[in-house]
Structure 1
């Protein structure tokens, strides 16, 4: 084991030395380099920062990294230059852009310079799944990996005080700056955007001016990084019965949307639903939905900012708790939990909105949420102030 550990870090350190050849190219002060989910899409927090720059600071050049399988099909604004993840141009621009924005981690072989600014927005808030060093399987290499990452990162965006303690400090071992601005992607939840609701309903063919409700089912990721599964349980969500329960509870027409996690390969669900997996913006789906069903996904934190009803469907709860773990005991979560379809149906029919609001408000206060309508402005302001110190 020790031999493998030293071989790994030896190879990484060797490649870091080789890639320093890119130091011969000067850093471009007007360049921002973006990557979301390691090149899997044009989305999440990096997208919101990118669009803010496009609207407010057009003088900056923007480069986005995309994996080869989506490079030709991904849709981006015309002012953005696309590069293939891992290519020569990828290395050139990541090594010469003054500012780098990501919602994940880069390979440790990339020797980011001290005169560059790397902001990690991460891609989830709340108090749900344990990650990295707080997970069930920390390792010596993992510890080394995060120490190496922390030499590259200038700051983490923080969604709450609790997030700083549990994720940034304890899980990622990061001791540097945190930007107390909230996640840029969540700014939309503090605004009135009727055009977004109309656009989304038109996309799915749902009438805009009726009293119907949109119920969104958005489960989290399970499994390895490239082949996730929908659930570790054989009991999948009974869409038909859940749909009927919501119509009985709220006495109105209900449309059921299903959004699979981007890493889930076998993501099919039985029943009649509107497939929202390919819809480009998850935050639009959350903003426009009236009710959310999830399991351990951080989208519950996002959705909770609007004080809309949230239900947890977790048939593999025990397995997930044993294999991954949670920062807060599930009994402390402010949402009703169904460990099977019957429990979920019972929680829908007996749902007390006033009790939910009280529990959700108390939870947000305990975690000391930083989420607000100006998250992107505050994040970019921090970056510009940092640029002046370099």
Structure 2
């Protein structure tokens, strides 16, 4: 049974009668998704330190069948159990705005990791007029509850300070989910390919577009690509045998994806729980306006953007980055994308990547964000022992 709205709010107040468990850490990822994003990498670091069961780590999810590492307790999303766990945990970790009915207690500590990062889209207060009153009220409520935001760059630090209705502490530590790019991760690609029944080595072209506001089934045409032609030119330019992956944004994942999946060498990875592993495994990433390619850029591998509806998108949501400073080659059509790939220059690309991250964005990431966050968690727990 799930509980929402006023009933859930009442339950949060009722469970205040129970004591807060000082070593309990409750993690939520994208409102009940599986083991992924920043929460995953914080949890993995906690597990490394979890000798003698120092932490009680709880993951709230709708995906109860997914694999979670030993040492993590899994509870159903928006259930009596999950409300109890949140109401009695010392620390919350989340990457998405919490609903208005969730109530934090005075001695609880909330780490907001956010699910985005460096990226071109305007978000939160920048587009307050199109987000809707309900979302804005929840966002403001969430920011009032938050004790700590995590920033991976000056770019995101300034975003949080200006546009997130938040005046609390922002930790300049890097992004935990980016740690994976700075460590040995050779086995990840084979793990992903094997999980999909692909046993011989292939190079991966990942297409990960973002959503458009108020999308319907009939709008999915915007995501159709000329896969055969694109993968052919990629193979000619970079060598090897290629397959395509498509990962849709959670806001549109429930739409009829059959409208854009026609080729048997293009795989739907929308439900794969960890986007970071997909980025690690991919050899090329293409997006439209998603921030995922800005994480991928840390690998140094080729990233591209396609902005065929740029004028309409600007009217609906707009961009906060000047297209002239973005380091990823930008196409306005599949035809132009093919031309850009054919003429791709690694040296030019590498210089643009470096200048963008370090000179323009002020990047903090260096592969130790999860350790820094867990040090803070230890500090909060130990203060109350």
Task: Specify the TM-score bucket, using the shorter chain as the normaliser.
Answer: 0.7 to 0.9
| Aligned with residue 371 of structure 1, among 329, 350, 365 | 365
Cα pair 1:314 1:340 within 8 Å, conserved:
yes
User: SS state of the match for residue 66, structure 2?
Assistant: coil
My pick for the range that moved more, 106-115 or 266-275, is 266-275
Cα pair 2:32 2:61 within 8 Å, conserved:
yes
Deviation at 1:50, TM superposition (A): 1.5
Deviation at 1:344, TM superposition (A): 0.9
1:33 lines up with 2:21 in the alignment:
no
User: SS state of the match for residue 33, structure 1?
Assistant: strand
Task: State the number of aligned residues.
Answer: 371
Q: Please give the per-residue CA displacement for 1:333-389, whole angstroms capped at 9, x wherever unaligned.
A: 111111111111111111111111111111101111121211110111122223344
Cα pair 1:35 1:66 within 8 Å, conserved:
yes
Matched residues in 2 for 1:384 and 1:229: separation?
47
Matched residues in 2 for 1:17 and 1:274: separation?
44
Question: Counterparts of 1:120-135 in structure 2 under 5 Å?
Answer: 120-135=112-127
Q: Which has the higher contact order (CA 8 A, sep 6+)?
A: 2
Matched residues in 2 for 1:27 and 1:235: separation?
47
User: SS state of the match for residue 51, structure 1?
Assistant: helix
The residue number in structure 1 matching 2:55 is 60
- Alpha-carbon distance change, 276 to 318 in structure 1, aligned in 2, over 3 angstroms: same
Deviation at 1:188, TM superposition (A): 1.0
Gaps of 5+ in 2: none
The residue number in structure 1 matching 2:379 is 385
The residue number in structure 2 matching 1:179 is 171
Deviation at 1:174, TM superposition (A): 0.8
1:267 lines up with 2:257 in the alignment:
yes
The residue number in structure 2 matching 1:219 is 209
- Alpha-carbon distance change, 278 to 40 in structure 1, aligned in 2, over 3 angstroms: closer
User: SS state of the match for residue 137, structure 1?
Assistant: helix
The residue number in structure 2 matching 1:4 is none
| Aligned with residue 104 of structure 1, among 93, 96, 99 | 96
1:170 lines up with 2:162 in the alignment:
yes
TM normalised by structure 2 equals 0.88
- Alpha-carbon distance change, 170 to 138 in structure 1, aligned in 2, over 3 angstroms: farther
The residue number in structure 2 matching 1:74 is 66
Gaps of 5+ in 1: 1-10
1:238 lines up with 2:219 in the alignment:
no
Matched residues in 1 for 2:352 and 2:226: separation?
27
The residue number in structure 2 matching 1:83 is 75
The residue number in structure 2 matching 1:146 is 139
Question: Counterparts of 1:214-363 in structure 2 under 5 Å?
Answer: 214-223=204-213, 234=222, 236-263=224-251, 264-265=253-254, 266-268=256-258, 269-271=261-263, 272-363=265-356
